[in-house]
Chain A
Amino acid sequence: MAGRRSGAAARWAAVLGVVAVLVALPSLVAALPASEAGTSAPDLRRAAVASADVAFTGYAQSAGGLSLPVGDQLTAVANLLSDRTTMRAWYRGPADWRVDVVSPTGETGVHADAGGTWTWNYETATATRTAPSPLALPTASDLLPSALGRRLLSEAADDELSRLGAERVAGRDALGLRLVPADQASSVARVDVWVDADSGVPLRVQVFGKDAAGAGAEAALDTAFLDLELTTPSAEVTAFDVPPGAHVRKGEDAGLVQAASRAGRDGDRIVLPAGLTGLARRTIDGAPRGVGVYGRGITLLAVSAVPRRVASGLHDALVTAPGAVVDDLGVRISAGPLGLMLVDGPEGRMLLAGTVSLDALAAAATELTGGQS
């Protein structure tokens, strides 16, 4: 009996030992040290911005914690910023890539070529051809760490940048770069970008709003590669042929952008100022008259005229949202670093949206409506 007991103990010890090793394995792999390189922050930014020609094949996930109460108008954008999005990416160059958003029962793939993009949706069996547009609402491909990191760093000034240590992202050595926007109006506390030490491709981007910027705070947006190979994918993978039986549509600008161009065509009633709440207006070729974009780098404010019909649905959604501020200027809300405001102007309603604080939105609205508040 005693022999059997000690045999049992030995057997269970062997089993428990194997379990312990297996349980410890993931944390051991995660604890692998990343090697630091002495790259300065401005150099690292330059390397990241210059990485647009680096071809890769990757698998990325983005998680957003921003719940935008925008009703039916912007469902796709709201989902993108509040959900977990899983993406597969094949990148051959700036005008030849493919990003698939993978869901358990389907997928939505965007194939880019020189003339625009094809968007394939499996669940509706629809292929949509979209021409490049100067102004477009964000899609999943904009959330890929490489694209988002390059965009957010593109206009950063050297004195806004500092270095963080090194980390391992997607099994690669990544150098940390912190961007703290200098603009007072900004609602973004900081952006942390982890840049691949070898190629300069941004591997992980975390955006922190000023409402939750302390240590251990949850990022408002966190997107990272989980796998990345710096090999050029074959042209076959990024190309797209409309499958037989698919519905083919022509891509249209989102309802709001269309509405803004209509409102702009109606006449010269809307004259947008050259600056708003201290942010200078940007020139965007081909943008509708009724749309203005202000600011620099990661502090951006978009202003757009909205016809009353479109605005009323948005207004109803905004006023009932928790935390909405309703006053003589209109209604404004913030979701993490994103601010959204519907202004009751003398010439109709205007939509203000961007990465600016609620105070900056109110100041911009006051300037737009001619100073009366």
Chain B
Amino acid sequence: MIAVELRKLFRRPRTWVTIGLLNALPVLVAVLLAVTDLAPRPGEGPVFLSAVLTNGTLYPLAALAIVLPLFLPIAVALIAGDSVAGEAQSGTLRYLLARPAGRTRLLVAKLLSVFAFVLVTVVVVAAVGYLVGQLLFDVQPIGATIGGAGGTTGLSGTTLTPADIVGRTLLAIGYVTVSMLGVAAFALFFSTLTDSPLVAMLGALGILVASSLLFTLDAASSIAPYLPTRYWLAFVDFFRVPILWRDVVRGLALQGVYVAVLLGAAWANFTTKDVTS
């Protein structure tokens, strides 16, 4: 059943159109930067963007930072919100459940296909960022360490070798993927509550907008550690020396709790729901 769901998801043109659109913004930003040579001042704009003109190796991270606040969650909420509610809306949910597989297995299959979508999306954004960075910006050649010419200066003023950058970029990709699982879990839960994919998607986005807003309020600082978007930007901490694990670990644990609770709620709701469409 999992294979069926995966095939269904990745055979749909809509999935690839979403991923394509998601990559359009980082590519546009890269082209504009390369043409105008005007990088944002350090400390302004998405993280790492100020450094890419001199070092294209960092563009996968800049690309992730560009799509992370809004576009990536929208794409994830769109697909995850559609997973159950979309079947209900098109009237196919009944038939899916008529198979002997059971509702819990269907939910798990939907869940895994959404997670696969999140991973593929993040990896594609990073890969397109890598290609764009190599093509449009100056790149420090790998292995050119003689005289200290190679490597990239990390946030702490320590020189990171190209191998360091690759390893830490992979960690960051993994972390961003996990950060998006919370969004996926919200959308999947709402998707079991309603028959409208749009409502499920907007519900998940509403939670994220509220979370981002509360995070900026000093008055809400007591609940800030529990907001789903609180630790999203912690992937930057992989580029400090030594790596600052504190927020990364908290971010992973928080996403784990959200995913577990929301999937539990989705399961409690879906397995006993009256399916009429």
**A4 contacts B272, CB within 8 Å?**
yes
**B156 contacts A109, CB within 8 Å?**
yes
With a CB–CB cut-off of 8 A, which chain A residues contact B257? 22
Of chain B, the residue at the smallest CB distance from A57 is: B242
Q: With A18-B260, A124-B42 given, is the CB distance from A100 to B156 under 8 Å? A: yes
| Distance (whole angstroms) from the CB of B3 to the closest CB of chain A | 28
**B240 contacts A102, CB within 8 Å?**
yes
Of chain B, the residue at the smallest CB distance from A127 is: B157
Q: Is A56 an interface residue (CB 8 A)?
A: no
**A14 contacts B268, CB within 8 Å?**
yes
| Distance (whole angstroms) from the CB of B67 to the closest CB of chain A | 16
Q: Is B92 an interface residue (CB 8 A)?
A: no
| Distance (whole angstroms) from the CB of A216 to the closest CB of chain B | 15
Cα-based distance from A103 to B42 in the complex (angstroms): 12
Cα-based distance from A104 to B68 in the complex (angstroms): 14
Total interface residues on A, CB under 8 Å, equals 37
**A125 contacts B272, CB within 8 Å?**
no
Q: Tell me what chain A mostly uses at the interface: helix, strand, loop, or mixed.
A: mixed
Q: Is B159 an interface residue (CB 8 A)?
A: yes
With a CB–CB cut-off of 8 A, which chain B residues contact A123? 42-43, 50
With a CB–CB cut-off of 8 A, which chain B residues contact A127? 157
Cα-based distance from A127 to B157 in the complex (angstroms): 9
**A106 contacts B42, CB within 8 Å?**
yes
Cα-based distance from A14 to B265 in the complex (angstroms): 9
Q: With A7-B272, A18-B261, A105-B47 given, is the CB distance from A100 to B42 under 8 Å? A: no
Q: Which of A16-36 contact B (CB under 8 A)?
A: 18-19, 22
Q: Is B167 an interface residue (CB 8 A)?
A: no
| Distance (whole angstroms) from the CB of A128 to the closest CB of chain B | 11
Cα-based distance from A107 to B156 in the complex (angstroms): 7
**A109 contacts B157, CB within 8 Å?**
yes
**B155 contacts A14, CB within 8 Å?**
no
Q: Is A38 an interface residue (CB 8 A)?
A: no
Cα-based distance from A345 to B266 in the complex (angstroms): 74
Q: Is B277 an interface residue (CB 8 A)?
A: no
| Stretch of A44-52, A192-200, A203-211, A239-247 that contacts chain B | A239-247
**A122 contacts B244, CB within 8 Å?**
no
**A14 contacts B272, CB within 8 Å?**
no
Q: Is B233 an interface residue (CB 8 A)?
A: yes
Q: Is A237 an interface residue (CB 8 A)?
A: yes
Q: Is A15 an interface residue (CB 8 A)?
A: yes
With a CB–CB cut-off of 8 A, which chain A residues contact B159? 241, 243-244
**A11 contacts B240, CB within 8 Å?**
no
Q: Is B134 an interface residue (CB 8 A)?
A: no
Q: Is B206 an interface residue (CB 8 A)?
A: no
Q: Which of A88-113 contact B (CB under 8 A)?
A: 88, 100, 102-107, 109
**B261 contacts A19, CB within 8 Å?**
yes
Q: With A11-B268, A15-B264, A100-B240 given, is the CB distance from A107 to B155 under 8 Å? A: yes
Q: Is B35 an interface residue (CB 8 A)?
A: no
Q: Which of A63-107 contact B (CB under 8 A)?
A: 88, 100, 102-107
Cα-based distance from A226 to B225 in the complex (angstroms): 13
Q: Which of A109-160 contact B (CB under 8 A)?
A: 109, 120, 122-125, 127
Q: Is B158 an interface residue (CB 8 A)?
A: yes
- Other-chain contact of A227, B54, B236, B246 (Cβ < 8 Å): B246
| Distance (whole angstroms) from the CB of B2 to the closest CB of chain A | 23
Over the window 12-54 of chain B, the binary record of Cβ atoms lying under 8 Å from chain A Cβ atoms (1 yes, 0 no) is 0000000000000000000000000000001100010010001
* Most chain A Cβ neighbours within 10 Å, of B151, B156, B159: B156
| Distance (whole angstroms) from the CB of A261 to the closest CB of chain B | 30
Q: With A15-B265, A18-B260 given, is the CB distance from A104 to B149 under 8 Å? A: no
**A8 contacts B268, CB within 8 Å?**
yes
Of chain A, the residue at the smallest CB distance from B274 is: A4
| Distance (whole angstroms) from the CB of B228 to the closest CB of chain A | 14
With a CB–CB cut-off of 8 A, which chain A residues contact B89? none
| Distance (whole angstroms) from the CB of A2 to the closest CB of chain B | 12
Q: Which of B222-246 contact A (CB under 8 A)?
A: 233, 236, 240, 242, 244, 246
**B47 contacts A15, CB within 8 Å?**
no
Cα-based distance from A329 to B148 in the complex (angstroms): 59
Q: Which residues of A contact B (CB under 8 A)?
A: 4-5, 7-8, 11-12, 14-15, 18-19, 22, 59, 88, 100, 102-107, 109, 120, 122-125, 127, 226-227, 237, 240-246
Instruction: Write 22 A-B pairs (CB below 8 A) sorted by A numbering.
Output: A5-B272, A8-B268, A11-B268, A11-B271, A12-B265, A18-B264, A19-B261, A22-B261, A102-B240, A104-B47, A104-B233, A106-B155, A107-B156, A107-B240, A122-B42, A122-B153, A123-B50, A226-B246, A240-B157, A244-B149, A244-B159, A245-B54
Q: Which residues of B contact A (CB under 8 A)?
A: 42-43, 47, 50, 54, 148-149, 151, 153, 155-159, 233, 236, 240, 242, 244, 246, 257, 260-261, 264-265, 267-269, 271-272
Known contacts A109-B157, A127-B157; can you find 8 more A-B pairs with CB under 8 A?
A7-B271, A11-B272, A100-B240, A105-B43, A106-B42, A107-B155, A237-B242, A244-B153
- List the 9 closest pairs (A to B, CB-CB), nearest first: A120-B157, A11-B268, A123-B42, A8-B272, A123-B43, A15-B264, A243-B153, A105-B47, A244-B148
